[in-house]
């Protein structure tokens, strides 16, 4: 009896699990990937061909151009606008029978692949990308072969479309073959990229570039820099450098190529003009020049003008106001008539008084 009860319990649990799984699949939806600009058929589960169903997309009626054939929904010339969650309901009770998450995309094309060694002689890295978007998840497989031996490929921790490979030997003349395959739900495509070791060596740009004016010299700038930190062995694999500079008022660069020095003095700067300066690096034996460093700006030394000493009121002579003395040649202002009559009266008054006394 106990065994029978146990068996029945197992059957019930199994049925519940199956029902839950079916219910969950209906709610979440199964993925269906279809190529763009094609006719797409969505099937409502395993219903018979004569079953009557209704469809909704993202919870609303399907408005895109379509037709129905029994439990099938047929979409014509699908584009990205057809992406969505499609649900079918069996008539007449409206029970949901299936849910499909439609993804419209494009099968991948041959990826573009490049490889470079900025850590020579430790190793190199390869990068790849699609020239055209696929609109659906696309993964990549990478195989690297040298001297008919497969090399270990390490994925980059930051860049998803990049991998790192260590050189199995240095100064090898045998070519490396890198095969990158793009894969998605609609297809796959591969690119085979072959190169020799010497052709991919390219350092990173020099770092910490500085330009300092030289005191009392209006035509010189002292430029210094450091080799890139990614270059692992600058002693055994030295770098040479390429310096370019120009004043901001001109478009033409001046160039200087240096052996293994990390400093240079510009001696022909235009006095008082701001300069822009950059440096590039290259292995002395193989490879190509790096990109230019971050540009720095500097102006040759300019003599400071003499400082102006501040003064106080006591430093200036006190201004004395005096009445101006008219020049004899200067024109005199005409005297008012009233003033002239008063002066005549004052002059003749004694004479008039004497004449009056005689008459009396």
pLDDT of residue 53: 95
Three-state secondary structure readout of 51-82: CCEEEEECCEECCCCEEEECCEEEECCCCHHH
pLDDT of residue 85: 97
pLDDT of residue 279: 98
pLDDT of residue 132: 94
Which residues contact residue 218 at a Cβ distance below 8 angstroms, ignoring those fewer than 6 apart? 269, 271, 272, 300, 301, 302, 303
pLDDT of residue 138: 97
Q: Percent helix, strand and coil across the chain, each rounded to 5?
A: 15, 40, 45
119-153 b/e with 16+ CB inside 10 Å = b?
bbbebbbbbbebeeebbbebebebebebeeeebee
Q: For the chain of 360 residues, list the mean pLDDT of each consecutive stretch of 10.
A: 50 43 57 97 93 94 93 96 96 93 97 97 97 96 96 95 95 95 98 96 98 95 97 95 97 94 96 97 96 97 61 38 38 47 52 53
Classify 357 as helix, strand or coil. helix
pLDDT of residue 11: 44
Which residue from 140, 292, 316, 266 is spatially nearest to 202, judged by alpha carbons?
Answer: 292
Place of tokens 């009626």: 61
- Which CATH code is given to the segment(s) 112-199? 2.60.40.10
Residues 161, 127 contacting (CB under 8 angstroms): yes
| Sign of the alpha-carbon torsion through 262, 263, 268, 273 | positive
Q: Is the fold of 112-199 the same as that of 207-298?
A: yes
Which residue from 169, 239, 180 is spatially nearest to 207, judged by alpha carbons?
Answer: 239
Which residues contact residue 325 at a Cβ distance below 8 angstroms, ignoring those fewer than 6 apart? none
The two tokens of residue 36 are 């763009």
Residues 201, 193 contacting (CB under 8 angstroms): no
The two tokens of residue 297 are 């700006």
pLDDT of residue 74: 97
pTM: 0.70
If residue 8 lies in a helix (H) or strand (E), which one and from where to where?
helix 2-28
Residues 109, 130 contacting (CB under 8 angstroms): yes
Residue ranges per structural domain of the chain: 23-105, 112-199, 207-298
- Which CATH code is given to the segment(s) 207-298? 2.60.40.10
pLDDT of residue 324: 40
Residues 264, 243 contacting (CB under 8 angstroms): yes
The rounded distance, in Å, linking the Cα atoms of 128 and 186 is: 19
Let me know if domain 23-105 sits in CATH 2.60.40.10: yes
Residues 297, 275 contacting (CB under 8 angstroms): yes
pLDDT of residue 303: 78
262-277 b/e with 16+ CB inside 10 Å = b?
bebebeebeeeeebeb
Place of tokens 């190509």: 288
């Amino acid at each position: 009896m106990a065994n029978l009860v146990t068996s029945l319990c197992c059957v019930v649990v199994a049925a519940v699990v199956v029902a839950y799984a079916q219910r969950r699949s209906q709610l979440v939806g199964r993925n269906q990937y279809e190529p763009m600009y094609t006719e797409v058929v969505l099937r409502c589960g395993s219903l018979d061909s004569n079953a009557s169903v209704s469809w909704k997309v993202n919870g609303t009626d399907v408005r895109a151009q379509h037709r129905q054939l029994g439990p099938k929904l047929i979409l014509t010339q699908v584009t990205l606008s057809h992406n969505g969650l499609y649900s079918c309901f069996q008539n007449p009770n409206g029970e949901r029978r299936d849910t499909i998450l439609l993804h419209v995309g494009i099968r991948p094309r041959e990826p573009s692949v490049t490889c470079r060694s900025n850590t020579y002689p430790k190793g190199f890295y390869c990068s790849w990308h699609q020239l055209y978007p696929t609109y659906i998840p696309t993964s990549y497989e990478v195989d690297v072969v040298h001297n008919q031996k497969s090399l270990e490929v390490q994925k980059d921790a930051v860049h998803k479309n990049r991998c790192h490979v260590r050189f199995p030997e240095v100064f090898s003349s045998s070519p490396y073959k890198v095969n990158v395959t793009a894969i998605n739900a609609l297809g796959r495509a591969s690119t085979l990229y072959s190169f020799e070791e010497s052709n991919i060596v390219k350092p990173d740009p020099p770092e910490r570039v500085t330009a300092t004016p030289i005191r009392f010299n209006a035509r010189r700038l002292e430029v210094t820099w450091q080799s890139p930190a990614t270059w692992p062995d600058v002693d055994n694999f030295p770098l040479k450098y390429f310096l370019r500079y120009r004043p901001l008022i001109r478009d033409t660069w001046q160039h200087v190529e240096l052996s293994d020095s990390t400093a240079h003095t510009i001696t022909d700067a235009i006095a008082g003009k701001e300069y822009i300066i950059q440096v590039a690096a290259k292995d002395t034996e193989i490879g190509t020049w790096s990109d230019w460093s971050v540009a720095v700006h500097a102006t040759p030394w300019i003599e400071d003008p003499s400082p102006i000493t501040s003064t106080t009121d006591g430093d200036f002579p006190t201004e004395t106001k005096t009445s101006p003395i008219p020049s004899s040649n200067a024109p005199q202002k005409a005297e008012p008539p009233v003033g002239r009559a008063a002066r005549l009266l004052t002059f003749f008054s004694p004479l008039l008084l004497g004449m009056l006394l005689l008459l009396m």
